[in-house]
Amino acid sequence: MMPLIGFVLIPIVLGLLMYIKPHSYTKAVTMFVQGIMLYMSIKYLFQLHHTNEIVELLSNHQLPVGMTLKLDVLSSVLVLLNNLLFFLMIVFNYHKAYMNKLFIFLFLSLQGMINGIFLANDFFNVYILIEVATVTVSILIMFKKDSQSMYDGMIYLMVNMTAMAFFLLGIGFIYKYFGVLDFDTVSQMIKTLDDPQPLMMPYALLLTGVSLKAALMPLFSWLPKAHGTASAPSIVSSILSGIFVKTGLYLFIRLQLFFDPVLDVSSYYLFMGFITAIAGFTFAIAQKDIKLILAYHTISQVGLIMIGLNISATSSFNGAMYHILNHGVFKSLLFIIAGLCIEIFKTRDITKMKGLWYHSKPISIGLIIAILSITGAPFLSGGYSKYLISKGYAGFGGTFIFQLLSLGTMISFIKFFKMIITKPDQAKNDAVSKNEVVVVCLMALLCILFGVFGDYYTALILKYDASYPLAKQLSKFGSYLVYYAIGYGLYKWIIEDRKWTVHLSGIELGFNSIGLSIVTFFAGTMAYLNWIY
């Protein structure tokens, strides 16, 4: 059995070796090692069935002096998703021209560092790994070196560094009060506190950094530029939206688990999640650039996950966890299909892409499955996890909110359906290679499996009995179709070719405004905490 540190070190060392001594079989070795990593993460998942957590000491000293890596249910889900996505992306990219030694080095280092973020068991290691991963991502964003991407990469780097400075200051306060930095001891010590007053400052500072990483409402302006930039290869966008944005959500869950006994701010984040979800799909509807639509959609889905995490019911929390996994799969699928569409049609404007069905049938089917999944159709992964999230929030208000969100998602994906079924205006372009089709089909299959056998997978991965059988899923089919019809009506009535969408798509915050929004968020969180305690 591979030790946990292998998840962090193997990709980084492999990438480095490949960089120093490139060879004709570099790509084959990379793919083979990715397969092993995926296999090991599945094996660890099964091992977690017998025990609650696996802890590995990195030195001879016990906690709180030593340093440990820890795998529990929460981190195992994310490690699995990370290694799954990286394996699929490497297979997908096998024949691409830009897969050179530098790209492989950066890409594999990113994988190791993301694994490290999920496995690390203390605040400072998490900070270091996020910081280095951010630098790597900013280089990957501008990998094709065109003029637009320089600005995008610079904004991404500076904004994230600012947020991480807040995070580090928060860590400073944690160390000042508790004298330790590992998660286990800090969480035990927080439980013994009666007075929430001294925790407010570190909590607000840490959460400002984490919320920016997760792209919550006022702090999301950097995300569309980073995830939707023209220069980044489509697999980089897939990884950013599929897994990297989840590091913020993961840290949010961790911090909530620590601070929850003393500071309960779930209603604040429930509200923020709701606004984020609404803002995300509103901006997505206004866009015409295929990658920007998907990037804004990530924000909307982050909002939905945030809502799920902050509802007190167990089903919603597990639904949100399952949605993190499902969203990782279908959003990556959508991004790689977007990359293929840009190659086929030689444009990024979705209104100019016509007749995808004529150009490539398997890709069209993959796209339809991904869209049905993200819009929450029955029998598909997205529908399953969205049902679980909404189950814990019954009542008129809750139903209204979730219906509004799914309606918004449906409306923003109407353009994609149009792209498939319209009449083609270009000669047939079958530039799609076999390995790309295989990956698209595999990911589409995962979307179906995670939905149809959702009961089995939630029990296996999250140890949660969801009980949402197929017959119950089938009963939702009628309402899904009715909603889509309403969505189409709304699209025709108030959205299609309207001027307000053009105005909305032009809204963009500059660097100073993003900095101001970070400060506002911090001040707002502090004010809220002072108000309720």
Partner 1 sequence: MFQFLQNISEIYITGENTSLVIFFIGVYGLTARRNILKSIISLGIMQAAIILFFVSMHAHVEDVPPIGTSFSVMPADPVPQALMITAVVIGVSVTAVSLTMFITIYHKYGSTNWNKVRIKRRDIG
Helix (H, G, I), strand (E, B) or coil at 17: helix
Output the 3-class SS for 387-421.
Answer: HHHHHCCCCHHHHHHHHHHHHHHHHHCHHHHHHHH
For residue 158, state whether it binds partner 1 (rule: CB under 8 A). Answer: yes
The only residue of 32, 151, 477, 500 in contact with partner 1, by rule CB under 8 A: 151
Work out how close the CB of 113 gets to partner 1 at its nearest, in angstroms, rounded to a whole number: 13
Nearer to partner 1, 304 or 514 (CB): 514
From 79-87, 112-120, 152-160, 301-309, span contacting partner 1 (CB under 8 A) = 152-160
Positions in 91-130 near partner 1 (CB under 8 A): 124, 128
The only residue of 2, 17, 42, 132 in contact with partner 1, by rule CB under 8 A: 132
Which DSSP string do the residues of 173-230 spell out, in sequence order?
HHHHHHS--BHHHHHHHHHT----HHHHHHHHHHHHHHHHHHT-GGG-THHHHHHH-S
For residue 58, state whether it binds partner 1 (rule: CB under 8 A). Answer: no
Nearer to partner 1, 198 or 510 (CB): 510
Helix (H, G, I), strand (E, B) or coil at 520: helix
> CA 43, CA 41: separation in Å to the nearest integer?
5
For residue 489, state whether it binds partner 1 (rule: CB under 8 A). Answer: no
Closest to 330 (Cα-Cα) out of 212, 168, 201, 445 = 445
**CB distance 397 to 472 below 8 Å:** no
Q: Spell out the residues 6+ positions from residue 261 whose beta carbon is closer than 8 angstroms to its own.
A: 190, 191
Positions in 162-201 near partner 1 (CB under 8 A): 162, 165, 168-169, 172, 175-176, 181
Amino acid, res. 161: M
**CB distance 354 to 278 below 8 Å:** no
From 83-91, 185-193, 234-242, 506-514, span contacting partner 1 (CB under 8 A) = 506-514
Nearer to partner 1, 17 or 150 (CB): 150
For residue 510, state whether it binds partner 1 (rule: CB under 8 A). Answer: yes
The only residue of 403, 515, 524, 533 in contact with partner 1, by rule CB under 8 A: 515
Task: Count the site residues for partner 1 by CB under 8 A.
Answer: 34
Nearer to partner 1, 113 or 374 (CB): 113
For residue 516, state whether it binds partner 1 (rule: CB under 8 A). Answer: yes
Determine the angle formed by the axes of helices 396-412 and 290-310, rounding to 10 degrees: 160
From 31-39, 146-154, 426-434, 438-446, span contacting partner 1 (CB under 8 A) = 146-154
CA angle (278 as vertex; 275, 284 as ends), nearest 5:
135
Q: Any idea of the CA torsion for 31, 156, 237, 141, to the nearest 10 degrees?
A: -60
For residue 63, state whether it binds partner 1 (rule: CB under 8 A). Answer: no
Work out how close the CB of 283 gets to partner 1 at its nearest, in angstroms, rounded to a whole number: 16
**CB distance 522 to 167 below 8 Å:** no
The only residue of 357, 511, 528, 533 in contact with partner 1, by rule CB under 8 A: 511
Work out how close the CB of 60 gets to partner 1 at its nearest, in angstroms, rounded to a whole number: 17
Positions in 220-249 near partner 1 (CB under 8 A): 230
For residue 251, state whether it binds partner 1 (rule: CB under 8 A). Answer: no
Work out how close the CB of 20 gets to partner 1 at its nearest, in angstroms, rounded to a whole number: 20
**How far is CA 196 from its chain centroid?**
31
Nearer to partner 1, 2 or 150 (CB): 150
Give strand pairing partners of 416.
none
Q: What per-residue string of b and e applies to 43-77 under the rule 16 or more CB within 10 Å gives b?
A: ebbeebeeeeebeeeeeeeebbeebbbbbbbbbbb
Work out the number of other CB atoms within 10 angstroms of the CB of residue 315.
22
For residue 376, state whether it binds partner 1 (rule: CB under 8 A). Answer: no
Nearer to partner 1, 511 or 528 (CB): 511
Question: Interface residues with partner 1 (CB under 8 A)?
Answer: 124, 128, 131-132, 135, 138-139, 142, 147-148, 150-154, 157-158, 161-162, 165, 168-169, 172, 175-176, 181, 230, 508, 510-512, 515-516, 519
